[in-house]
Structure 1
Amino acid sequence: MTTINTIIFDLGGVLIDWNPEYVFLDAFQGDHKKMQWFLANICTTDWNENQDAGYPLNQATNDLIARFPEYENLIKMYYGNWENMLGGSIDETVHILDSLVKLNKYKIVALTNWSHETFPIALKRFNFLSWFDGIVVSGEEKTRKPFAKIYTTTLDRYNIKAKKAIFIDDNLRNIEAAKKLNINGIHFKNPKQLIEALKTYNIYI
């Protein structure tokens, strides 16, 4: 087995709890069905990911209001109340990160789909983001996972050899894209599963 010398973490869903439902469940007065319809049809994942790739938040909001003027107030809430979508750190995974940093054996990098306009909020809130040797933010790169460019940018910028790296992400789509570039992948499900998966690469914490 190739010796691993680099570990690449996704942030949202792995180290940081982020969920639009924290805002919209209240907006829909606890009506899950109406909230889920809105997030599936108006402020969709695809729409948000476009901003993750660098599209301006204000422009994206106005574009959507032009299409769905009857939902103007709710659409404005998406980025207007974005900070309330941050549920906090996923502490057990942060502990894993801390343990890996303290081993002082690995280059540790973050690769995240995140708007460059909102990422500074996360930097202020989560001290552990300062532990990384580098962070690649999709909004700053004008591309995002699962497109190959953001992975190759990460490899080149931090002098990472794909076969000696592991990428940890909660989205299987992003793991599969990394594997096409010969980056090892762990599909994150929970912290305990991650600890066991790391052992398969002879990484013990």
Structure 2
Amino acid sequence: MVEREYVEKVMRTWNPHIPDHDIDSTYRYMQSDFQRRVEGSLKSKMEEYEAAGIPPGPLVEQLEGAFIEKAVLDNVIQYHLGEYLEEIEKRRRGLNRDYYAHLWTIQDPDGWKKTPWEIDINPELFAAVRQTFPEEESPFHVFTAARIEREMYASEDMPEVDVAFLKEIHQAVSDWEAAGSPLEKLSFSHLTVDPPKARR
């Protein structure tokens, strides 16, 4: 039997921000697939007994059913969750850490506010943001680029950089500074973040 709790645990380990409806959908598909395979395999197995001239009794059918259910469950889990389990194992071995950090952050609607440095920001986009807002400091550039990357991921459209957008960016920077987060957190392997300007 497919357990929803297990399905959720695997999917949320892979991506903590995965929507509930995605989990429910996967669980329903797995449950339906499991039942279909078990019924088909058990029917075939009973037909083999009949063909061999050995009418199977209830005990035999129950025993064969238990073996079949275990094998089918393993196959269904591998079929529907195998990719998740494989990637989780890679992460446990320290592989693709940057990719997963980027994926989790950009899938979270508020990820760009919480850990913008985890998003894989396009260097050309970052340069364009700096050129567009030369009067602003680096934290503003980083949060703006991260916010744009999130919007383009979610809707595939460039967000409108209006008054509300800029207010949201300034608020995110203020919250980050108020939390006392170090400037080094806003560093990227391919981006240069300038030290803050002296405040008057």
TM-score bracket, normalised by the shorter chain, equals under 0.3
Structure with larger Rg: 2
Using CA pairs under 8 Å that are at least 6 residues apart, name the structure with larger relative contact order, 1 or 2: 1
Q: By percentage of residues, which structure has more helix?
A: 2
TM-score under structure 2 length normalisation: 0.26
